[in-house]
């Protein structure tokens, strides 16, 4: 067992780290699960710390059985943890589409052969009141209200809906049905995971370990990507993913290495001792390798260096076609490169649009005549060819 298995990227272990340690050392078989609500189209680096932890555990061998639970039912209810008010109802099609991506993306990290996949609609969809009410009677309203986030809402006089009380129960019930020995999730899931622990104890007299991982937060303590747009998704192209990591603040580096890579402490220490830019490139390379592969990571890195550091010809151009006589602005709008003509005009006025590579300025209502390459801002490279 790796010495940092129970410490790296770990925020808390319930009931106690030592207990889990001895369970692991005793060779006791453990069913460990991680629940994800398929609310978005893709996993992102925020999931990476949990997945890597699961992989570490999976590597222990036969002793461990990893169960990935897709909250296809709970996704429809909406976890109040991400309380941004009105949730959009997801259609079953969207959900199953998401699930397809998720499974494949998880395969980047975990050994799918050794992983069990379940959907919680299996049991939650047919959970009747006669089952639900006894669950609800295990908890008091004040226990639920204790959650920080409910307290905050009371303070702000914003609504708390009944179904939001139900959510932790349902997630907890997953633990009961799956008869797991352990649950892993982000720190923000601690409350829900502990409800499951209580339920399991009450209904099946079973002890469930709960391992909460640290969250990838920025210096303000906000979850990455929540306040800024640089959350790296598994579905991002290698180049995008690489670029997004490079735009993370330097201050995030130590935490990001801990959570999103498996470089050893010592390696990380060496890397961090060097130039921050080099360190971040290393981080970006590692992350892209995890969510794609090392070859693509290499290419992404090369393209990044080319484009931004050497200002050389970018390796990827967005290819468009246009008719001679058409306004360039119209071609760009119809291909959603820019939002509107006004948007394009503003960019032109800001000096953000130039012809590549001779840097000729472009005027707002320039007419398209022959093949032209444009650089718009820092990141948009467009080549327009005659149709």
Q: Please work out the total of residues on this chain that contact RNA, with binding judged by CB under 7 A.
A: 40
160 binds RNA (CB under 7 A): yes
Among 92, 107, 249, 254, binds RNA (CB under 7 A): 249
Among 230, 306, 315, 366, binds RNA (CB under 7 A): 230
333 binds RNA (CB under 7 A): yes
163 binds RNA (CB under 7 A): no
Comparing CB distances to RNA, the nearer of 254 and 276 is 276
Comparing CB distances to RNA, the nearer of 109 and 253 is 253
Residue 167 and residue 80 in contact, taking contact as beta carbons nearer than 8 Å: yes
Binding window for RNA (CB under 7 A); candidates: 52-60, 144-152, 201-209, 341-349: 341-349
Distance of CA 17 to the CA centre of its chain: 26
Do β-strands 10-14 and 209-213 pair in parallel, antiparallel, or remain unpaired? antiparallel
Among 158, 264, 270, 369, binds RNA (CB under 7 A): 158
203 binds RNA (CB under 7 A): no
Backbone angles phi, psi at 362, to 5 degrees: -110, 140
Comparing CB distances to RNA, the nearer of 126 and 359 is 359
For residue 307, CA distances in Å to 302, 316, 377 come to 8, 9, 13
Tell which positions 301-320 bind RNA, by CB under 7 A: 308-309
**At closest approach, how far in Å is the CB of 236 from RNA?**
13
250 binds RNA (CB under 7 A): yes
149 binds RNA (CB under 7 A): no
Comparing CB distances to RNA, the nearer of 92 and 357 is 357
Q: Which residues bind RNA (CB under 7 A)?
A: 85, 156-160, 227-230, 246-251, 275-277, 280, 308-309, 333, 339-343, 345-347, 350-352, 365, 376-380
């Amino acid at each position: 067992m790796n010495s940092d298995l129970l410490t790296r990227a770990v925020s808390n272990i319930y009931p106690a780290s030592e207990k889990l340690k001895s369970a692991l050392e005793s060779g006791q078989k453990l069913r460990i699960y991680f629940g994800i609500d398929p609310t978005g189209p893709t996993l992102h680096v925020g999931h990476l710390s949990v997945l890597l932890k699961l992989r570490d555990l999976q590597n222990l061998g036969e002793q461990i059985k990893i169960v990935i639970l897709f909250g296809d039912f709970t996704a429809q209810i909406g976890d109040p943890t991400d309380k941004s008010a009105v949730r959009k109802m997801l259609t079953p099609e969207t959900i199953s589409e998401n699930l397809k991506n998720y499974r494949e993306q998880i395969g980047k990290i975990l050994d799918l052969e050794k992983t069990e996949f379940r959907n919680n609609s299996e049991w939650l969809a047919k959970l009747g009141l006669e089952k639900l009410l006894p669950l609800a009677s295990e908890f008091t309203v004040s226990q639920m209200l204790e959650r920080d986030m409910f307290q905050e809402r009371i303070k702000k006089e914003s609504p708390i809906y009944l179904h939001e009380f139900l959510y932790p129960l349902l997630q907890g019930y997953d633990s009961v049905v799956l008869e797991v020995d352990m649950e892993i999730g982000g720190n923000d899931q601690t409350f829900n995971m502990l409800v499951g622990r209580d339920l399991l104890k009450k209904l099946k007299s079973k002890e469930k370990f709960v391992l909460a991982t640290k969250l990838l937060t920025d210096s303000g303590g906000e979850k990455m990507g929540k306040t800024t747009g640089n959350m790296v998704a598994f579905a991002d192209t290698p180049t995008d993913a690489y670029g997004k990591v490079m735009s993370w603040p330097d201050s995030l580096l130590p935490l990001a290495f801990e959570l999103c890579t498996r470089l050893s402490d010592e390696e990380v220490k060496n890397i961090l001792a060097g130039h921050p830019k080099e360190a971040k490139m290393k981080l970006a390379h590692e992350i892209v390798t995890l969510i794609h592969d090392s070859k693509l990571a290499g290419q992404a890195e090369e393209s990044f260096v080319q484009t931004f550091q050497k200002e050389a010809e970018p390796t990827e151009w967005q290819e468009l076609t246009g008719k001679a006589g058409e306004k360039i602005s119209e071609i760009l709008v119809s291909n959603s490169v820019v939002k509107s003509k006004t948007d394009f005009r503003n960019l032109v006025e800001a000096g953000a649009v130039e012809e590549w590579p001779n840097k000729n300025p472009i005027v707002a209502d320039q007419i398209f005549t022959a093949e032209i390459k444009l650089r718009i801002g820092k990141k948009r490279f467009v080549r327009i060819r005659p149709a």
